[in-house]
Structure 1
């Protein structure tokens, strides 16, 4: 599962770079597409953080 999420993160990051560098879209369209992809990236990163396995957790009191 971790590989899948990392793969999705890489894809979202690549998509953001493609949108930023593309000449196919107007600046307004680029901005919208980048915002959507960045939101997706943020969600994926949070999902990846939640899957981090802690091996010797310390109990904080």
Structure 2
């Protein structure tokens, strides 16, 4: 169910989601280090999470993956 996709569109969405989550994490650490308040940080994480989920989770995939043997 949670395997890394083989189709190119789903794989690109996974890479974009991973990059977005890492970027938001680094931005949060930077803001914390410099004492910059981020009152609604969780709102910034929604888009990368949706990208990652739409690449990994079968009902949200752009290109349907073929059935994989278990």
Which band: TM-score by shorter chain? Answer: 0.5 to 0.7
Match of 1:19 among 27, 41, 55: 27
- Structure 1's unaligned 5+ residue stretches are 57-61
Aligned residues: CA RMSD: 2.4
Instruction: Give how far 1:19 is off.
Output: 1.9
Q: Judging changes above 3 Å, is the alpha-carbon distance between structure 1 residues 25 and 10 closer, same or farther for their aligned structure 2 residues?
A: farther
Query: Which residue of the partner structure matches residue 59 of structure 1?
Result: none
Scaled by the length of structure 2, what TM-score is found?
A: 0.53
- Structure 2's unaligned 5+ residue stretches are 1-8
Match of 2:67 among 39, 55, 61: 55
| Separation of aligned partners in 2, 1:14 and 1:31 | 19
Select the structure that is richer in helix.
Answer: 1
Question: How many equivalent pairs are there?
Answer: 53
